[in-house]
Structures are given as structure tokens and as C-alpha cells.
Amino acid sequence: MTIVFRDHPLLAQDFMNEEHEAFADLLNEAEQALLMGGQALPYLQRLYQHCVSHFAHEEEEMRHYHFGPYPVHKQEHDRVLGMFRQQLLDFETTGNVAPVLEFLLETIPDWFGQHLKTMDRVTAQFLFQQKGDAA
């Protein structure tokens, strides 16, 4: 399932919306590379690195503003990055497209939608209250 960023609600933090939109674009590019049988590894690596950077950015904001549920949110980021790392390793080792494609088409879109509606929404609202703006 391709992620259409416009189908998801915007959050109260512009940086999160911008990074989520970039995530959706990178995910869709990686999916297409896998489906077309091209050199998918660079696309997967770019997507993974974007996730690492985005999660680090969110986590820095949460720590800076003393967001109480930070440990739970970070744990979820770490869990997803661990799953992603394993998918990358398996793909690099075996070249088997099916598992990583399922991960990108099913697991990640389901997780993204749920994470956006729950943890990220609450985090963005908290940051909005602390910062007083949507930046």
C-alpha cells in the first residue's frame, strides 16, 4: 500500500509534517524500485537514514521540552528501526524481495498511520503547547 501523505492528518508541528511527507515520498520510491526490479538497496538505505534522522529530531525535541512519555515514544522508534535494520540486512544478504516488500507495503504503512494518530499526535500537541507555535 503506497502512502499518500495527504491522507493523513497534519500535526501541530511543521517539522514533523515536513519530515513525514519526505518519509512517505522515500517509502514510495523504495517500493517502486523493488516492484520494478531495479537497484532497490540505495532507496532502502535512504529511507532508513531518513527514519534515523527524523526519529533523532523528534527525540531531541521531546528531551528539550521534557516530554514525560519520551521513553515510551523512543522505545517505539527503536523497535521500528530494529525491524527495519533486520529487513535491510536480510535483503542485503539474500536479495529476497518478498519480505522487504511486505514490510514496506504492509507493516510500515500500518505502523505509520497508527503512530501518527497516537504517539506523534500527542507529542506534536505537547510541543505546540510548549513552544507556542507550529514551527
pLDDT in tens, 1-42: 566 666 778 899 999 999 999 999 999 999 999 999 889 999
Domain boundaries, the chain: 48-135
How many other C-beta atoms lie within 10 A of the C-beta of residue 24? 19
As to burial, measured by CB atoms within 10 angstroms (0-12 exposed, 13-18 middle, 19+ buried), residue 6 is exposed
- pTM of the entire predicted model: 0.92
Mean pLDDT, the chain, rounded, equals: 92
Average the pLDDT over 122-130 and give the result: 95
Q: Is 69 helix (H, G, I), strand (E, B) or coil?
A: coil
Average the pLDDT over 117-129 and give the result: 96
